[in-house]
Chains A and B, each alone.
Chain A
């Protein structure tokens, strides 16, 4: 089955700086890669996703890049703000290909220092 590795486990950045979280996956057939933000005790919230036919996607301060050859994808958050502090999870799946459910990375605790 799919295995998703996520680094770092904890990331502390100064407010206004950029944050980068990286993930690798093992199943070359995976074709959907979402990123979720989860605050303590709350449900995961989708912040951005990318499909395997695209190399990069951006939504305001958030961007995701995908390298299919290397099987890794990254989340980039620019101009970080205190409200960006949370746990971020990457995930991979193969919708319609027998692996519809998401395989999650272990999470990154992002801390924005004021």
Chain B
């Protein structure tokens, strides 16, 4: 149980275009999902916290108009990178918390990540 999927796993897009990444909790409901970014051989950086039915909370330095987050259902959050540029190329990973499991309020389950390359 507690499986999180992401789609696509890899995407290449041209500079100036937009890309949407989906994060799904497959066997549990996730009122909160998180989006992280990871550069090669670097750590994960929290970008934003996505709450079902409300606006996302962005970390300092993350442009909300560039990284649009929508969490319209208890099993799906999307991250849209708008007007992508080469510096947006990165590994984007989502995670979700399973509120349905007693005692597991804290644990986050990670998706497999999406490798974005902007040319």
Which chain A residues (10-50) contact chain B, with CB distance < 8 Å?
32, 34, 36, 41-46, 49
Evaluate contact between A101 and B112: CB separation under 8 angstroms: no
Evaluate contact between A49 and B106: CB separation under 8 angstroms: yes
With an 8 A cutoff between CB atoms, is B46 at the interface?
yes
Distance of B48 from chain A, by nearest CB (Å): 8
Which residues from A are CB-within-8-Å of B105? 95-96
Evaluate contact between B112 and A42: CB separation under 8 angstroms: yes
With A and B bound together, what is the CA distance between A107 and B93 in angstroms? Answer: 16
Which residues from A are CB-within-8-Å of B59? 101
Evaluate contact between B32 and A100: CB separation under 8 angstroms: yes
Most buried by B among A51, A96, A105, A107: A107
With an 8 A cutoff between CB atoms, is A114 at the interface?
no
List residues of B whose CB falls within 8 A of some A CB.
32, 34, 36, 42-46, 49, 59-60, 93, 95, 97, 105-113
23 contacts between A and B (CB under 8 A): A34-B106, A42-B112, A43-B93, A44-B93, A46-B108, A46-B109, A49-B106, A49-B107, A89-B44, A93-B106, A95-B97, A95-B106, A100-B49, A101-B34, A102-B34, A102-B36, A102-B46, A102-B95, A102-B108, A104-B45, A106-B42, A107-B42, A107-B43
